[in-house]
Amino acid sequence: MTSPPPGPLHTELVGPPGADRLVLVHGFTQTARCWGAFADDLARDHELVLVDAPGHGGSSGVRADLPTGATLVGDAGGAATYVGYSMGGRLALHLALDRPELVRRLVLVGATAGLDDPEERAARRRADEALAEHLEHVGVEAFVDEWLGQPLFAGLTSATASRAERLANTAAGLASSLRLAGTGTQEPLWHRLGAIDVPVLVMAGVDDAKFSALAARLARAIGPNATVALVPRAGHCAHLESPLDTASIVRRWLRSHPAA
């Protein structure tokens, strides 16, 4: 018996209906409600589709790898500008390459196009499997606190970490995301990025050295359609650590780069 296709993703709509549409795709352990003041600012004059990614929030029962997850994100958002953070950025990149007719513009925050080295990818898959097993053992609350305790998220505060929203996730859903859509599972996309022919804004926090370097590499691989912007006073979660600066950068870029 074949498994049924994964169901539709849960979404929330905010902002004025019919305005320029932005689809926001969150990172691992987050939900559609984790965008905070960044989304509040953009929702003043944009229609936002806030997506719960596979294994997260209202989509916790959806099991999908990155290509399938990208298809589901596109089904949920339709033709729009896609904004993806971290894991959400990887989903948005897959969507831009696999269903380009849906992506009018692309905004990537703290994202990568994958690990080049096969041994490094294999090691990451093993690490994510161990992390999934640990998550299933300790439960969501302990895992979220451990996750937010990493140096990568040191710039978050109790007011910006969206801990309560993250606790709405399930252990089974998050574990499935690690196993099916973790960085180690991703086909490296670097050699395909030149095919993206819509405007792309690649962002990272200025204090996030690793992803600032990846932002520059992404822009080089995409080509002249890409713009790099580093967010001041921010690390990996630039849109949460410095939401108004991040929203201002995005807003100015949107005005100067009409949708394809």
Number of neighbours of residue 141 by Cβ within 10 angstroms = 12
Residue type, 194: G
3-class DSSP assignment, residue 241 = helix
159 within a domain of the structure (yes/no)? yes
- Reading phi first (left if > 0) and then psi (alpha if -120 to 50, else beta), residue 219 is in alpha
Is the Cβ–Cβ distance between 147 and 86 less than 8 Å?
no
pLDDT tens-digit readout, 114-164:
999 999 999 999 999 999 999 999 999 999 999 999 999 999 999 999 999
Task: Return the CATH number at 132.
Answer: 3.40.50.1820
Residues of the chain with pLDDT under 70: 1-5
Q: Look up residue 139 and give its two tokens.
A: 């439960």
Residue labelled with tokens 């990493």: 150
* pLDDT for res 3: 60
Number of structural domains found in the chain: 1
Q: Which residues contact 156 (CB under 8 A, 6 or more apart)?
A: 148, 237, 240, 241
Contact 175, 29 (CB under 8 A): no
Q: Does a structural domain hold residue 3?
A: no
Q: In this structure, is residue 1 part of a structural domain?
A: no
Neighbours of 13 (CB within 10 A): 11
Task: Please state, in angstroms and rounded to a whole number, the distance separating the CA atoms of residues 95 and 71.
Answer: 7
170 is in which domain, residue-wise?
A: 11-256
- DSSP 8-state symbol, 257: S
Whether this model's pTM surpasses 0.75: yes
Q: Is residue 101 part of a domain?
A: yes
Q: Is residue 2 part of a domain?
A: no
Residue 6 pLDDT: 86
DSSP for 181-197? HSGGGSPP-GGGGGG--
Among 145, 136, 127, 218, CA closest to 174 = 136
